[in-house]
Structures are given as structure tokens and as C-alpha cells.
Amino acid sequence: MSKYKVDITGLNTNDIPVLKSEETMELFKKYQQGDLKAKEELINGNLKLVLSILKRFNNTKYNLDDLFQVGVIGLIKAIDNFDLSYNLKLSTYACPLILGEIKRYIRDNTSIRVSRSIKDLAYQILKYKEKYMSLHGVEPTNKEIATFLNIEEYKISYALDSLKEPMSIFEPIYNDGGDTIYLLDQLADKKEKNKDQDMIISMNKALQKLKERERNVLLERFIIGKTQMEIAENLGISQAQVSRIEKSAMNNVRRLIK
């Protein structure tokens, strides 16, 4: 199909089957009962997910045949690890894994271990986004997601970032025709940052000793970037009260890191 515009050696993209959601769910049930033929049908019926992601690499120096094979590995991993209990579409879960596998291949990097709880949260966020999109036609805001899942907003980005692959320090970030500048060139020398690291450690310890409301106000103000008025509206208090809580929290942090 012209929609994909990706040429893979020995593969006619027009002949690739596309499974319906109901068919996908039935095949998953069979596969989980040990039917390996069902797994093969799941792979073949979702190859266009791989092709759709390969479009962004169509005009790059990378060999699309190789990237396709790597992308299929990502698809297989997604199928092997997909959890039906979350009532999530396979494509919603598989696309980040396929892209991650391709990027891992390109960057020759290893993956980061992610805790089960963060993976569960990422699943819940994706599921809510998908449901919200189907009902309203637009993505929910982080505030809406956080309210629905009863979590802090900053945890949303943490969870979704767990689906991304780490960037290589040898990733090129600038080239004007001369010497290439890599990410490594922009990293600070840790030997000169020991004092800063000690301060960060002290700050983290101090934050853990604050009252929950003080800690949450600081996180929302300086991590999420909310205004005092926005925090006040969420907590149902006045902006002046938020200001006092923030000032008290800052004073307590200074006292604890001395």
C-alpha cells in the first residue's frame, strides 16, 4: 500500500494481512494456551506496525531491510509480553517497543531495567489516553490523567519515559559540515561536580523529611512548574496559604541541609 512507502526486499507489502481487534484478541487467547501457529498469525498480521514506524527512517543512511528485521524482533517481544488484562490495543503497546528496538540497534545501546510498578503505571496511562481519545477526539492533559489515576503529575513523564530507549553518549547532536559534535562533548566533568552532587543528595534527604503537603508544593512548584495560584486551586486553599507553605518548606530545607 502506498500509505507505507517502505520497500523491503522480498516482501510485497500489499499482501500483508491486517488483523481486526477481535481477531487479535482471539489469537492472543490461543497463543497463551500454547498455540504457536496463533503467534505466527499475530506477527504476520501486525507487520504493518513495523512498516509504519520504518517510514521515519526511509530517507536515512540505515538499511531498511535490517531495520525491518530488528523491528519485527520488537514486535515479537511486544506479543510475548503483552498483557490482555489491561484491555489495551496491541498497537498502543507495541509501537514504542518496536521503535525502541530499532533505536537500540542503531545506537548499539543496552536497555535499562524498569520496575514492574512503573511499567504498570505506564500501561494505565496509555489505556486512559486511548479511552479518552476515543471519547473526546483529543489527548487528555497531564492534569486530567493525574486526577483520574490519583497520582502526581511528574510521575506521568517518569512512567512514559520508561518506554523510551536511553540515548547513546555518542549520539551526534550537531554537524555543520565539519567536525561532528556528540552528546559526550556536552557532558560536564563529574570531577568538578562533586560539591553539586553532595548538595543534590542533601536536598533529596531533606525533602524526604518534610511534611507531605510541603513536599508536594515544592514538587509542583519547581518540578512540574505550576504557579502558586494553580496549586491553590487544586488544594482548595488561597494563594497566600500556598505562599506560606512554600516559604515554610524552603526554610525547613535550608535548616535540614546545614
The pLDDT-based confidence of 239 (bands split at 50, 70, 90) is: confident
pLDDT at 208: 80
Tens digits of residue pLDDT in 68-85: 999 999 999 999 988 888
Helices (H) then strands (E): counts for the chain: 12, 2
pLDDT exceeds cutoff 60 at 216 = yes
Which tens digit of pLDDT belongs to each residue from 159-174? 887 776 555 555 555 5
Mean pLDDT, rounded, for 3-14: 60
Q: What are phi and psi of 98, to 5 degrees?
A: -65, -50
Mean pLDDT of the chain: 79
How confident is the model at residue 180, as a pLDDT?
Answer: 55
C-alpha cell recorded at residue 28: 492472543
Q: Domain coordinates of the chain in residue numbers?
A: 1-111, 189-257
Across 8-22, 125-139, 210-224, the highest mean pLDDT is recorded for 125-139
Residue 66: helix, strand or coil by DSSP? Answer: helix
Residue pair 231/217 in contact (Cβ under 8 Å)? The answer is yes
pLDDT value at position 169?
52
Q: 1-111: which CATH topology?
A: Four Helix Bundle (Hemerythrin (Met), subunit A) (1.20.120)
Q: Using CB atoms within 10 Å of the CB of residue 197, give its burial: 0 to 12 exposed, 13 to 18 middle, 19+ buried.
A: exposed
Q: C-alpha cell of 191?
A: 570531577
Distance, CA of 35 to CA of 41 (rounded, Å): 10
Residues 163-172: contacts with CB under 8 Å, at least 24 apart: 163/96, 163/97, 163/100, 163/122, 164/96, 164/100, 165/100, 165/103, 165/104, 165/107, 165/109, 165/111, 166/109, 166/111, 166/112, 167/107, 167/109, 168/107, 168/108, 168/109, 170/107, 171/107
Q: What is the pLDDT of residue 185?
A: 55
One of 1.10.10.10, 3.40.50.300, 1.25.40.10, 3.40.640.10 is the CATH number of 189-257, namely 1.10.10.10
Give the residue with greater pLDDT, 195 vs 122.
122
Beta bridge partners of 5: none
Average pLDDT over every residue of 100-129:
76
Q: Is the pLDDT of residue 1 over 50?
A: no
10-60 pLDDT per residue, tens:
667 677 888 888 888 899 989 988 899 999 999 999 998 999 898 888 777
With H, G, I as helix, E, B as strand and everything else as coil, classify residue 59: coil
